A and B are shown apart, each in its own frame.
Chain A
């Protein structure tokens, strides 16, 4: 495979696809955990205790960041495809950086809530 110019638009595509892939892999586990409600409060409480572990919290932080990133980069795709094409910056490269920053900010917000 030939090397690519590291263009931000390609990076955005990659991050959007990989974040989606990660979320899709997580989703079945998420649904199964929610389903513990069918087994009663004790089962749910046990799971909640398990999720208190730092490694799990880290995983949750990653998911919040990827979830936000996927949303924001997806919004960028909708704008590129359907909004009028501007004179300059049609690929909205600036958005890629901003999306990353907002996703990290939301991740920080999540951690803040978890730590308190």
Chain B
């Protein structure tokens, strides 16, 4: 049986890659490999996962240079007998493959992503037509589960500490297109603030990396258009 060489990051911001060897199997994901190492070879290895079926985003790591969901990355798709596994980029490292996502979550908030409504429990539910143009725009961006892969993929995030990042801005776009949201103007101002959409250079790494095919570049372009409109037509959202 042939073997797979697995290089796993150990330590925090300071540390090094440690080599392990696991048997190559017919059906094997990167998460399987990490789990096998932790359970049978080194119980001190730290990593995150939850659903292991590609819906929660917890197992995101950098595999052979690319940020991805490890439960959805088959070893055979990597076409290599050496697999390098590192924690997500652009986040401080806590231990081994575990990163501190609080900065990522903070930026999510800073992009104006708190839903506000003028309705209360006494009002009837809002009737949002799913086929309305605005809802379609929001729906195209709404499925984000904050896995952090796009944040890890984005070079502007690594170059500019103030930049809120593709995930945060993508959510802001979905909120400003939510007809129920009464804080559209505040969200827009936050998304167009100094760490906002103007910093995006349309490199497209986020789109290429998103495990569910979202397009933060598209959402950010929408925010950029909105900023142009607000400048031309006054400051109405």
Contact = CB atoms under 8 A, between A and B. Distances in A.
Interface of A: 1-5, 7, 9-10, 13, 77, 80-82, 85, 90-91
Interface stretch (B12-20, B187-195, B220-228): B220-228
B222 A91 contact: no
Given A82-B225, A85-B218, A9 B62 contact: no
Interface in B201-235: 201-205, 207-209, 215, 217-218, 221-222, 224-225, 228
B151 interface: no
Contacts of B207: 90-91
Contacts of A85: 218, 221-222
A5 B221 contact: no
Nearest to A5: B208
Nearest to A86: B218
Contacts of B89: 2
Given A13-B202, A82-B224, A90-B207, 14 more contacts: A1-B158, A2-B89, A5-B66, A9-B204, A9-B217, A80-B217, A82-B225, A82-B228, A85-B218, A85-B222, A90-B215, A90-B221, A91-B204, A91-B217
Contacts of A7: 203-205, 208
Given A82-B228, A90-B215, A13 B201 contact: yes
A81 to B, nearest CB: 5
Contact of B203 (A1, A2, A10, A82): A10
Q: Is the interface of A mostly helix, strand, loop or mixed?
A: loop
Contact of A9 (B65, B67, B203): B203
Contacts, number: 55
Which 4 pairs show the lowest CB-CB distances between chains A and B? A9-B204, A3-B65, A2-B65, A10-B203
B154 to A, nearest CB: 11
A41 B13 CA distance: 63
Nearest to A93: B204
B157 to A, nearest CB: 12
A20 to B, nearest CB: 12
A90 B66 contact: no
A80 B202 contact: yes
A77 B65 contact: no
A81 B205 contact: no
A2 B225 contact: no
Contacts of B62: 2
Contacts of B221: 80-82, 85, 90
A13 B203 contact: yes
Contacts of B209: 5
A94 to B, nearest CB: 14
A77 B221 CA distance: 10
B202 A9 contact: yes
Interface in B56-89: 62, 65-67, 86, 89
Nearest to B228: A82
Nearest to B204: A9
Given A2-B66, A5-B66, A90-B215, A81 B202 contact: yes
Interface string B91-115: 0000000000000000000000000
Contacts of A81: 202, 221, 224-225
